Amino acid sequence: MLKTHKVLTKNKNYNKYGYLKLKKQLSLKLIKEIKNDISSLKTKFIYKDRFGKIRRIENITKKTKNLKKLNQIIIKKIHTKFGKKLKIFKDKCNFKPPGGAGFDAHYDGIFYFKNKRNIKKEGWNEYSNFFINALIPLDKCNKKNGALEIAKWHNKEFKDLIKNTNNDGSPMIKKSIEKKLSFKRIDLSLGDILFFSNKCPHRSKKNFSKTSRMILYYTYSKSKTDNYKKYFKHKMESRNKNSKSLTG
């Protein structure tokens, strides 16, 4: 477990809110090619909803030339905008098919899990004390298809944040806390990137549109060592099967 402390960036707006939307950052050609790549990716990390629909695939960044390129572009942008040299920590592509449920309010990485030796571990805090998520829309995100809703970050330590969660092996935020928060929906066009801290409460609604909504969600961490392989290995071995809850 790492010693935690509050980390700020060189971006004043990000430091205040814990998130930052940047418009028109990526070429539409790259986005289109990535969307194509995703349809034929192979990974062991596939998650389905209760209707058997694929809702998430993980461990994908290093699988195609375009996804690797995107990773490098984002690493550079994080360095320029936030003054941080971060490494890829984990990744996922979320699918929200028509009628697909949203997500209840949660942080990312704020949960306890048991490793293969049955030892209790502190979620992402085991790997780093600073994370930035980069959300890259592969389809536009809006009110109708359940864009991400986000609240100002709680820039506190793991031991404080865990008290705001249900503490059930997932990072879900207690309803009593969620009620007091003010969420803002962040609509995104292709080419935009939403950067946000894992300490921002966030949630999303069901997809009420007739088309699928796909997003890439890359997470970067401050760390001397490469945690990417380690994270997915530990995830495979973890005895904790609790995940974020879909709203339906």
CB of 150 to ligand AKG, least distance (A): 9
CB of 119 to ligand AKG, least distance (A): 25
The set of long-range contacts for 22-25, using a CB threshold of 8 Å and a minimum separation of 24, is 22/77, 22/81, 22/192, 22/193, 22/194, 22/195, 23/189, 23/191, 23/192, 24/189, 24/191, 24/192, 25/77, 25/191, 25/192, 25/193
Site for ligand AKG in 74-113 (CB under 6 A): 94, 96, 102-103, 108
59 binds ligand AKG (CB under 6 A): no
209 binds ligand AKG (CB under 6 A): no
CB of 56 to ligand AKG, least distance (A): 7
CB of 235 to ligand AKG, least distance (A): 14
Q: Based on CB atoms, which residue is closest to ligand AKG, 70 or 148?
A: 148
Q: Based on CB atoms, which residue is closest to ligand AKG, 71 or 204?
A: 204
Q: Based on CB atoms, which residue is closest to ligand AKG, 130 or 218?
A: 218
Task: Report the candidate in 154, 40, 142 with the shortest Cα–Cα distance to residue 107.
Answer: 154
Task: For residue 90, count CB atoms less than 10 angstroms from its CB and return exposed for 0-12, middle for 13-18, buried for 19 or more.
Answer: buried
At 149, the amino acid letter reads E
Q: Based on CB atoms, which residue is closest to ligand AKG, 76 or 143?
A: 143
Q: What angle do CA 225, 228, 230 make, to 5 degrees?
A: 80
Q: What residues form DSSP beta bridges with 148?
A: 204
Kindly list the residues in this chain that would bind ligand AKG in the complex (CB under 6 A). Answer: 94, 96, 102-103, 108, 146, 148, 202, 204, 215, 217, 244
